[in-house]
Amino acid sequence: MLFLIFTSTLSCQTEDRNSVIKDQLYPLPAGSIKLDGFFDEYIQNSIDHWNMGDLPYDQFVDFFRHGRPQFALGEMWGKAVRSGCMFYRYTNDPQLKREMDETVKDLLSTQRENGSISCVEIDKQPEESELWERKYVMLGLQEYYEWVNPDPEVLDALIKQADNIISIIGHAPKTEIVDIGWSATNIGHEPCHIESSTLLEPFMRLYNWTGEKRYLDFATYIVESGGTKHHNVFLNALNNVDPWEMAGNYPKAYEMMSLFEGLVEYYRVTGDPQYKEMLLILFQNISTSEITIIGNGGSDQPYHPNVAGEAWGNTALEQTNPDITRMMETCVGVTWLKLCSQLLRLTGDPIIADYIEKYAYNGLIGAMKPTGDGFSYVNLLNGTKVNDHGWGWEFDSLHVTCCNLNGPMGLAYIPYVAVMNSNSGPVINLYNKGNVQFDTPRKRTGTIVIDTDYPVSGDIRLNLYLKKAEKFNIRFRVPGWSEKTELKVNDEKIVATPGTYAEINRKWEPGDVITLSLDMRCRVINAPSGSNRAGDNFQAVVYGPVVLARDENIESNYNDSVFLQAESGYIRAIQEEPLSEKINLQFSVPVDDGKYITMIDYASVDNWNNGKHVCTWLPQKPYKIK
């Protein structure tokens, strides 16, 4: 029998005394979960080659010490540190802690005499991209304080930073928060400035830790200001406005969701049901009209050609539009995953976890460099899959963008959401192989060992280790796509309905075994109808949570029209040993005239610097009567 020892000295500080709304699900304490294989390989690759690799933390801090040569570069420090701290929450690696300790100390040494940690000299504050940068300073320090080291000096620095912001931002004679920012004047549009209002999240976190009313008052001021200069995005969410129309001609997807992450925290404290309604309507609208087959969203065409593919674009419906040149910024996907994790905690709705799974297995790891040192900026479904070009800076030989700073945070959220706890017992959201330690409702320690090669197969075995038999509930997510699921406790069959949690409430015995067999038949998905159809029809093939694609590295005719031999929405694809160890999954897929095409998981298609292309939506040959 296996009992694992975990050490965790920090408790989850987000379970705070100020919340009137209690979450349905909550994260397990730091260090409670250890994944093994699949996602863990991506996580370790990112930690080794990015967070503990070549990242120039000292040069990020220098922007605060000496100023910065380009707008918004002050975001880099906070983004790098927050993913490092979230990874530390998972790994407990002392070397990673040392690196975080060192750079936090370095940053604190740049705090100016008015309390600001800013790239801008005091007499020029507030400056256009300063609030966005300061938000990331606060989030980086907060992740450090919460998961690495609750050092009073860090809290003190956060308080000084926040108090300085309050002293300069607000109603006249101060500067209104929606009057400061760079969006969308940077592309010649009327001001939007949504990025500055994303200070909502760090101010709520600081309020939760200090109980100081002035931080809650500032959060209320942000919410009452509406989020942008000309459009109240909170009321627009409540009024069911489509995401791509929520902020005029600049509905930046990443910043908008970052703002609503803060609104989740604000709702927990205020308890006003209209904020929950805003959040749920926004989730519904993004999930149905923006999120593509690989779980990310936003596009340049047809609605916002000047916003570089970073705005909402009715993208779920437009995803096969051949006019799109840039779509699905990695910052957008990661922030969507984070917003989903907040809403999953709040509601306990398993459909939200389906969206996390969809992005994690496809868009997120599909954007990562095989070398681990970065992520694609925008991501295509058909064409050149990855594209590094976008806002960023060159450090010696390292190209750093917003997206390759955010990508690791997406990876760090996988263990955070994979298994959660609740007052009635643990909740399994993702089925990666691993070990999980949890407290039962009677506060006894239990361990779940998840044994599986998922997503290579859909067979999952969970062994439960308890010190003593106890009655409680375990919830197992049955993905919406798993039409026929077999679930058993020992030899007893349990009903498993797709798109729900199968709840098993029983007296669990030490050594109980749960087996789950998910429906991994390959599904054929028809492309949704958008605004631009030149007579082509497209279909895609999906295996469990994994989107398959054709890869020019494997077949030069990767883009040819085919006729998929589907029956009732399924296709008898043959799973094969992958051609190389860099490929996770490979299939032979039957098409017309008795031929087969090779498809691999979208994530494994490598278009980095080789001029090759991907084809995810397969152009369809018209049906031929034989």
Judged by the rule CB under 5 A, the positions of this chain that interact with Zn ion are 329, 331, 402-403
Nearer to Zn ion, 256 or 402 (CB): 402
Distance CA 288, CA 276 (A): 18
For residue 132, the minimal CB distance to Zn ion (Å) is 13
Q: Which two tokens stand for residue 361?
A: 């297995």
For residue 331, the minimal CB distance to Zn ion (Å) is 3
Which is nearest to 421 in space by CA: 24, 10, 38, 6? 24
For residue 292, the minimal CB distance to Zn ion (Å) is 17
**Termini Cα distance of the chain:** 61
For residue 178, the minimal CB distance to Zn ion (Å) is 22
Nearer to Zn ion, 116 or 406 (CB): 406
Distance of CA 442 to the CA centre of its chain: 32
Nearer to Zn ion, 202 or 374 (CB): 374
For residue 363, the minimal CB distance to Zn ion (Å) is 13
Handedness of CA 528, 530, 532, 535 (dihedral sign): positive
Nearer to Zn ion, 133 or 329 (CB): 329
Q: Which two tokens stand for residue 150?
A: 């609750």
The region, left, alpha or beta by phi > 0 then psi within -120 to 50, assigned to residue 31 is: left
For residue 408, the minimal CB distance to Zn ion (Å) is 13
Nearer to Zn ion, 374 or 545 (CB): 374
DSSP secondary structure, 538-565, as one string = EEEEEETTEEEEEETTT-TTTT--B---
Q: How many residues does the chain have?
A: 626
For residue 520, the minimal CB distance to Zn ion (Å) is 33
Q: Which two tokens stand for residue 14?
A: 């987000």
Nearer to Zn ion, 278 or 331 (CB): 331
> What angle do helix axes 200-210 and 253-270 make, rounded to 10 degrees?
30
Nearer to Zn ion, 33 or 331 (CB): 331
Nearer to Zn ion, 199 or 402 (CB): 402
Nearer to Zn ion, 275 or 413 (CB): 413
Nearer to Zn ion, 329 or 606 (CB): 329
For residue 586, the minimal CB distance to Zn ion (Å) is 30
DSSP secondary structure, 296-330, as one string = ---BSTTT-GGGTT-B---HHHHTT-TT--SB--H
Handedness of CA 81, 83, 89, 95 (dihedral sign): negative
For residue 325, the minimal CB distance to Zn ion (Å) is 16
For residue 473, the minimal CB distance to Zn ion (Å) is 39
* Backbone phi, psi, residue 355, to 5°: -70, -35
**DSSP state at residue 360:** I
**DSSP state at residue 55:** -
Handedness of CA 197, 198, 202, 208 (dihedral sign): positive
Distance CA 79, CA 66 (A): 19
Nearer to Zn ion, 68 or 97 (CB): 68
For residue 324, the minimal CB distance to Zn ion (Å) is 17
Distance CA 598, CA 576 (A): 9
For residue 146, the minimal CB distance to Zn ion (Å) is 24
Task: Confirm if 205 and 221 have CB atoms less than 8 A apart.
Answer: no
Which is nearest to 516 in space by CA: 477, 486, 551? 486
Distance CA 338, CA 253 (A): 13
Nearer to Zn ion, 137 or 403 (CB): 403
For residue 255, the minimal CB distance to Zn ion (Å) is 10
Please compute, for residue 237, the number of CA atoms within 13 A of its CA located in the half-sphere on the CB side. 23
Nearer to Zn ion, 32 or 296 (CB): 296
Would you tell me how many other CB atoms lie within 10 Å of the CB of residue 526? 13
Distance CA 65, CA 73 (A): 13
CA distances from 560 to 70, 138, 181, 538, 551 (A): 44, 50, 46, 11, 12
